Amino acid sequence: MNLRYTHRIRIELCSHPSRKPLIIQRIVGNMRLLLFKFIILFTLTPFLTGCETLKNISFEESGDDGNYGGWSAKKFHEKARKSLDRENYQEAIKLYEALEARFPFGDYAAQAQLDVAYAYYKNQDHEAAIAAADRFIKINPRNPNVDYAYYLKGLVNYNRGIGFLDRYLPTDSSQRDPGNARDAYDNFEELVNRFPNSQYVADAKQRMIGLRNNLAMYEVHVARFYFKRKAYLAAANRSGYVIKEFQRTPAVPYALQVMKQAYIELDLMELANDAERVYQQNYPDGPPVAEYKNQTFIQQFWDFTGLDK
């Protein structure tokens, strides 16, 4: 057999339809399998969609599979208000957002913006509540209820730092991070200055008194911390800051006591005597408000553990 004849036989073998290479047969088989799967899936898709639709059907009045088809703005408002009354704040947020999205210029739009801020606040979503209140103030600066938006911002910051321990254990609020307290004070102060005749001013002023007292006492705690660390000059300066910036608060006599002790440690007896003289003139019977008044046994135990410090 010569080389030319051998080459011709190889060509004939490769071109014979009943002798395809194994790899080509596998490719064709896989393509057929994929085509069969696609046909089955395409055929069953309407049935699968129908099952999912049945799964989402609620036999209560809900509004077209959660899309609220055909709902009026009034219906949104009423349903959202009912959710708030039931303390279902997440559902209320969802309804208020849908109301604003569908009826952005309707009669209930502005109220929905304010109500969703309150729902966020009750749902412990503080950042969203502040953002919603700020948005309401920006869009509706002349709305009759805009004073409530300022008041709500103060409430959010007033309660923002209260965690699990603060709710169920007798912790000292004056030893918390004062950032939220300062923000709340500023919010309430802005409300009082902008809307002196608002119905929320009386409550805001009462909260401002408590916040100011806590902020002052926080500075006393800082001064005591410096004193314990033997940073006596820093302790004296912090006490002086309390006396200057937080006059007429229950923290002032405690600040004078820290100041006196710090000056004694610094051997500045003249300044120490001045602090003592001011203390005796203003508080001859001691601090008018006890630092820990009418403590229960649990509160005394909590203070003994020192977990607040």
Write the DSSP symbol of residue 175.
G
User: What is the model's pLDDT at position 39?
Assistant: 61
User: Among all chains, which residue has been given the structure tokens 């069953």?
Assistant: 44
Domain ranges of the chain: 70-134
Residue 26 has pLDDT above 70, yes or no: no
Is 50 exceeded by the pLDDT of residue 131?
Answer: yes
Q: Identify which of 109, 137, 132 has the alpha carbon closest to the alpha carbon of residue 119.
A: 132
pLDDT score, position 105: 87
pLDDT exceeds cutoff 90 at 148: yes
Spatial separation of the C-alpha atoms in residues 171 and 178, rounded to whole Å: 14
